[in-house]
Structure 1
Amino acid sequence: MNAPTLASAPANASTPRSRAARTRLVMAAAVGNALEFYDFTVYAFFALVIGKLFFPVHDPVGQLLLAVASFGVGFFTRPVGGLLIGMYADRAGRKKAMLLTLGLMALGTAMIAVAPTFAQAGIAAPVILVIARLIQGFSAGGEVGASTTLLLEQAPSNRRGLYASWQFASQGLSALAGALTGVALTASLSTAQLESWGWRVPFIIGTAIVPVGWWLRRTMEEAPRESVAAAPKAPKMPLVTVLREHGRAVLNGLGVTIGGTSAHFIIVFYLSIYGVKTLGLPGWTAMLSGCVSGAILFVVAPIGGYLSDRIGRNRLMQTTRILLMLAIWPAFALLNQSPTTGTLLAVVTVLSIVHSLNVGPTGAMLGELFPRSVRATGAAIVYSLGVAIFGGFAQFFVTSLIVITKSVMAPAWYVIGCGVLSVIAVACMRERSQEALD
């Protein structure tokens, strides 16, 4: 039996009635993801200061490595958070799960903001820092599954791609805000002031944003015009159902996530580090590069989501993924031949535009893989697992490839290899943009 098309499917009853309601829904769903990437950016910006204050290692490089490691531990709890919070979202509702993830994210950020330094609390200081990162990783793992499924289920049927794309657009805006906050503090405070209290300011700002996000989520309507009782109930063991009945969807979703995540971490984060550490560019270019990529992601990702509603998600995903795979190697070759700030920014701009168009339909594609009863669980599992492995360990994989191959082009090959998996996955997926969600 053919799947229902938009023409034959009933109008999405849960669609918000006004522009204000639609805007509020998107803001409520995106605020948690935004807080995560804001914290991601400011932590990376102040990694040197945090390493010096929390880890009593005499070697500055060792301090930095420990600070980065404490940041990376959050990726280990992402899959666990994705699984547990995803199941909670399917059984208790998207709204309750979104309130939980926001509360956990706020707790982790606040713990970092007020954490005592090693000089003040000894070994307890790095322990508190690591616990905070674990809590944030757990929260982030469940955030995308709950909030993206809510956007999908309440979006107009012909705008699901656009609605879900705001999850990724919020990442760009928050990364830009985090970078600008770091630059402003560095420019206005002395080194002593930054080490004394200035590094805490971005985390305090992040914590202060939470009440607004909590109010948005607490007062939003999860299903304003639809009887929740009419929706299919989640099974007692959503994970078992996902793995037993939707194994192919899980593999396809992982393939999509792997391609997007590998490209995101190389283009948005690693390229700036590559420019400074490998090409010898000035340190300020790293932050400028991050600002450019963040701004482009915020503007272009919704365009990708919109186009996926019009021309099809699979077509857009395949076209932009192949373009990115074709462009990444020449981009790194150009950087090594002409290692200038202008070249770096030009490369980041072009790659970020293609990448942002590519991630635009990702949220909708992941949610559309699973039925409503296990949608949050399925989407959370594939996204958090793919990000944890191929995003959290991206720099490790790339560095290892450089050592093994003795080639500075290894980052390009990493993106190409992951991109091939993504292309195969999308080729195995049915186009759902013109079908009813449920």
Structure 2
Amino acid sequence: MHSSTPAARSGTHTRSSTFGAVVRVTSGNFLEQFDFFLFGFYATYISRIFFPSSSEFASLMLTFAVFGAGFLMRPLGAIVLGAYIDEVGRRKGLIVTLTIMASGTILIACVPAYDTIGLLAPALVLLGRLLQGFSAGAELGGVSVYLAEMATPGHRGFYTSWQSASQQVAIVVAAALGYLLNHWLTTQEIGAWGWRIPFFVGCAIVPVIFLLRRTLKETAEFEARPRHPGTREIWNATLKNWRAVFAGMLLVAMTTTTFYLITVYTPTFGKTVLKLSTADSLIVTVCVGFSNFLWLPIGGALSDRVGRKPILIAIPVLAICTSYPALHWLCAAPSFGRMLAVLLWLSFFFGMYNGAMVAALAEIMPVEVRVAGFSLAFSLATAVFGGFTPAVSTYLIEATGDKAAPGYWLSFAAVCGLAATLALYRRSDTARRAARHAIDGT
């Protein structure tokens, strides 16, 4: 006697297929964030090897500038690769972005030191970051739109939240690898060659992710469209909808700034500013990754139930009121416990806000330029705000002498997100009222 009905088996199969599709599409996101985080965490070692200087501050600023340069390539990648994905399909486009991203990763992992090849070393590192940034410009948008288009009715926020949730897995894995290296190797060994090991791990998982992406199916929504516009049409449509792109950029400002502050910048902040141990910084980062992973789907699912607007207003207001005071409290008496408490509080901001924001951004973009518009808005926000958060934080602390100064930068980004939310939803509310009056008048 069979223990399950055909309908039950079909439901199980559907859930399994959906889970597999989510894993396949977000696998590239894992690699992207894994590599980005490694560059930020090992910034102090990279600065000495590729950007040697008599000043530690100058070397670190050069390293973070190269890190940020990758984000300047994101808008270009969003325009070129985003339009390509809107034209040829999500599946083919995401395989192309993965290829470019993997090339940058392999290059950075294998570049010899400045002492070996001179100025060619920092030039190649910069090239690797530019390739990563170019591909990432459309990778995130392509993945987010894919998840939005495959989502079941009423669950778009929950589905799209897994785009960023996959990145949190990368944060945890990268931080855990760093912790193990710190335990097994001396500081001198890590500085000489040990820092490359996690990058080689990233190279090793590239073939696995390629296999996963190759089995990805095109979204039914994309295939159902009677016509797919060409690249030039997509570019023109994106330009026509520049207001939506600009508002989307401001909407993303808070999430990208918070993310890079609590993940990529955390190890450097803990070691160089708070003077805590490397192990303490890594443990906090692992905890932040787990916390982000928890709050993201909660934020997405909650926004499906109560709407995007309440969350997109409440979280920025909390951030404006508490970001600087929390960091000031931490810097007044640095300790592992205080650092963990403050960063978990900021993690709550990020997870809840981003869980609602990604779905909202996908919804405000016209369908014909959904990937290009989404990618461009996200890339511009990352280039202007998030990507340079480590550099801006380092500069603000140096210029003001206030160790909590990054709180000002985060509060400013929260103001941008709040303003965008109020503008976007005022416009949509006005449009709905106009449509309702038109119907009532007929």
Q: Same fold (TM over 0.5)?
A: yes
Q: From 141, 146, 149, give the equivalent of 2:145.
A: 149
Per-residue CA deviation, residues 154-179 of structure 1 (Å, 9 max, x unaligned), is 11121111111111111211111111
**Distance across 1 between alignment mates of 2:59 and 2:394:** 19
| Residue equivalent to 2:372 | 377
Of 349-358 and 161-170, deviating more is 349-358
2:104 is the alignment partner of 1:108:
yes
Q: CA deviation at 1:272?
A: 5.1
Q: CA deviation at 1:205?
A: 1.2
| Residue equivalent to 2:315 | 320
2:247 is the alignment partner of 1:248:
no
8 Å contact from structure 1 (residues 268, 352) kept in 2: no
**Distance across 2 between alignment mates of 1:290 and 1:167:** 19
- Secondary structure (helix, strand or coil) at the match of 1:304 reads helix
Q: CA deviation at 1:338?
A: 3.2
Q: CA deviation at 1:319?
A: 1.5
Q: CA deviation at 1:30?
A: 1.4
8 Å contact from structure 2 (residues 266, 285) kept in 1: no
**Distance across 2 between alignment mates of 1:406 and 1:58:** 21
Q: CA deviation at 1:325?
A: 2.1
2:383 is the alignment partner of 1:388:
yes
8 Å contact from structure 2 (residues 262, 347) kept in 1: yes
Q: From 415, 419, 424, give the equivalent of 1:429.
A: 424
Q: CA deviation at 1:61?
A: 4.8
Q: CA deviation at 1:331?
A: 0.7
**Distance across 2 between alignment mates of 1:330 and 1:251:** 30
8 Å contact from structure 1 (residues 324, 355) kept in 2: no
Q: Which amino acid aligns with 1:26?
A: V
| Residue equivalent to 2:50 | 54
8 Å contact from structure 2 (residues 41, 268) kept in 1: no
**Distance across 2 between alignment mates of 1:53 and 1:333:** 33
**Distance across 1 between alignment mates of 2:189 and 2:385:** 37
Of 301-310 and 315-324, deviating more is 315-324
- Secondary structure (helix, strand or coil) at the match of 1:158 reads coil
**Distance across 2 between alignment mates of 1:198 and 1:277:** 20
Q: From 29, 36, 46, give the equivalent of 1:33.
A: 29
Q: Which amino acid aligns with 1:250?
A: V
Percent of pairs with identical residues? 34
Q: Which runs of 5+ in 2 are unaligned?
A: 1-10, 433-442
TM-score (norm 1): 0.87
**Distance across 2 between alignment mates of 1:118 and 1:235:** 41
Q: 1:104 to 1:36 in 2, by over 3 A?
A: same
**Distance across 2 between alignment mates of 1:300 and 1:227:** 33
Q: Which amino acid aligns with 2:214?
A: R
| Residue equivalent to 1:134 | 130
Q: From 201, 210, 213, give the equivalent of 1:205.
A: 201
Q: Which runs of 5+ in 1 are unaligned?
A: 1-14
**Distance across 2 between alignment mates of 1:305 and 1:16:** 23
| Residue equivalent to 1:280 | 275
| Residue equivalent to 1:306 | 301
Q: CA deviation at 1:117?
A: 2.5
Q: Which amino acid aligns with 1:214?
A: F
Of 179-188 and 193-202, deviating more is 193-202
| Residue equivalent to 1:76 | 72
Of 80-89 and 121-130, deviating more is 121-130
Q: CA deviation at 1:416?
A: 1.9
Q: From 334, 355, 365, give the equivalent of 1:360.
A: 355
Per-residue CA deviation, residues 300-346 of structure 1 (Å, 9 max, x unaligned), is 11111111111111112212222222221321232233322211111
Aligned-residue Cα RMSD (Å) equals: 2.7
**Structure 1 or 2: more helix by fraction:** 2
- Give the alignment of 1:200-239 within 5 angstroms: 200-224=196-220, 227-230=223-226, 233=229, 236-239=232-235
**Distance across 2 between alignment mates of 1:335 and 1:135:** 37
| Residue equivalent to 2:290 | 295
| Residue equivalent to 2:408 | 413
Q: CA deviation at 1:224?
A: 4.8
Q: 1:130 to 1:21 in 2, by over 3 A?
A: same
Q: CA deviation at 1:101?
A: 0.9
**Distance across 1 between alignment mates of 2:282 and 2:351:** 19
**Distance across 2 between alignment mates of 1:430 and 1:324:** 20
Q: CA deviation at 1:384?
A: 0.4
